[in-house]
Amino acid sequence: MSHPAMSMKVQAVCSEIFWVARLNLLWIVFTLLGGVVLGLGPATVAAYTLARRHHRHESFQVWAAFWSVYRREFVRASLLVLPLVLAATVLAGNYLYLSALGSGAGALRAVTYVALVALAAVGAYLGPLYVHYELPLWGYIPKASLLALTRPASTVLLLFVLAAIVFAATTVPALAPLVSVGAWIYLNTWLCLRFFAENEARLLAKGNS
């Protein structure tokens, strides 16, 4: 490979890493702006919206676009995200409590772990689904659940990416505030947009057959 081509590839990779770090910073700033609990939903939806626009090669002013989505989706995004966060918090707390009880609670701990994985699988589709399709608010979780069940290979890949990011952030703690959330939203959106396109093409082919 020629040096100019290699240089362009390196520049492209560095540009994407910078984008991920900026997306991560935006998510942190606007989550804190809402006092964490009230900021989490709209900040997450705004980050997914901008990630989708970035992957579609749209041009926009990052901070202004993030603020616009954050403000517009403040209530609706909270109603979408917070129930899953609450459920994940309860399940994680139960898992830690059952782990402290020892082997006697092994069965309940296993059930709780499976529930956590299932919730993560549904959540992995939820953000990209919300910013890509217009559905009634109550329709997103059933749709995400259906995708998680009917596309097992895609679901396993999403969970693997999530686990890899969590492992990297816990192994190198400095990554957590710098890129962890941004990296997940970036990769999660990129993968799901492709899954959605494949699913639409399959349904279209099935309808034309």
Domain that holds residue 121: 3-208
pLDDT digits (tens, 9 = 90+) for 68-114: 999 999 999 999 999 999 999 999 999 999 888 877 777 889 999 99
At 102 the pLDDT is 77
Which region holds residue 104: left if phi is over 0, alpha if psi is between -120 and 50, else beta?
alpha
Sign of CA dihedral 187, 60, 144, 34: positive
Sign of CA dihedral 57, 123, 35, 95: negative
- As a whole number of angstroms, the distance between CA 51 and CA 190 comes to 8
Q: Provide the number of structural domains found in the chain.
A: 1
> Is pLDDT above 70 for 2?
no
Share of the chain above pLDDT 70, in %: 97
pLDDT digits (tens, 9 = 90+) for 196-207: 999 888 888 877
- As a whole number of angstroms, the distance between CA 201 and CA 198 comes to 5
Looking at residue 174, its amino acid is A
> Tokens 């919300």, residue?
130
DSSP state of 178: I
At 174 the pLDDT is 84
Contact 115, 87 (CB under 8 A): no
Band of the pLDDT at 47, cuts 50, 70, 90?
A: very high
Share of the chain above pLDDT 90, in %: 77
The reported pTM is: 0.93
Q: How many Cα atoms within 13 Å fall on the side-chain side of residue 78?
A: 12
At 176 the pLDDT is 84
SS3 of 140-193: the string is HHHHHHHHHHHCHHHHHHHHHHHHHHHHHHHHCCCHHHHHHHHHHHHHHHHHHH
